[in-house]
Amino acid sequence: MSRIKRGVTTHKKHKRILDAAKGYRGRRKNTIRVAKQAVEKAGQYAYRDRKIKKRNFRALWIQRINAAVRVEGLTYSQFMHGAKLAGISLDRKVMADLAMNEGAAFTAIIQQAKQALPA
């Protein structure tokens, strides 16, 4: 019975890891043991930070809305409550974009939210 040589599969596996480690510094880019650890850790960071990215953008939108609303004499929480009472169903991303780029339209939304608030 002939023996099985496994070099092809091992080289393929190693090549995949070293390709993923392109651009890393030191032995992390060319030593398979270190590169494997670095690529694995990079994947963990990437997975975690995809979640954190959503969190950061939501915080940014809230800050932008808050800044635009305070100019009109409201706080963010008062504005959001008034918007809910007024039936304004825009999400924070769209509101932040309006606040940044369409000031007049956002001012009209603020006025609607102000009127819907109980006196």
Segment 48-97, tens digit of pLDDT: 999 999 999 999 999 999 999 999 999 999 999 999 999 999 999 999 99
> C-alpha distances in angstroms, 85 versus 47, 78, 112?
37, 11, 10
Residues contacting 9, CB < 8 A, separation 6+: none
* Longest distance between any two alpha carbons in the chain, whole Å: 91
Does the domain spanning 7-116 belong to CATH 1.10.1900.20? yes
**Residues 18, 19, 21, CA angle at the centre, nearest 5°?**
60
Dihedral angle at the C-alpha atoms of 10, 13, 19, 20, nearest 10 degrees? Answer: -140
CB 66 within 8 A of CB 76: yes
Which of 4-8, 32-36, 50-54, 80-84 shows the lowest per-residue confidence on average (mean pLDDT)?
4-8
Separation of alpha carbons 101 and 98, rounded Å: 5
Q: DSSP label at 42?
A: H
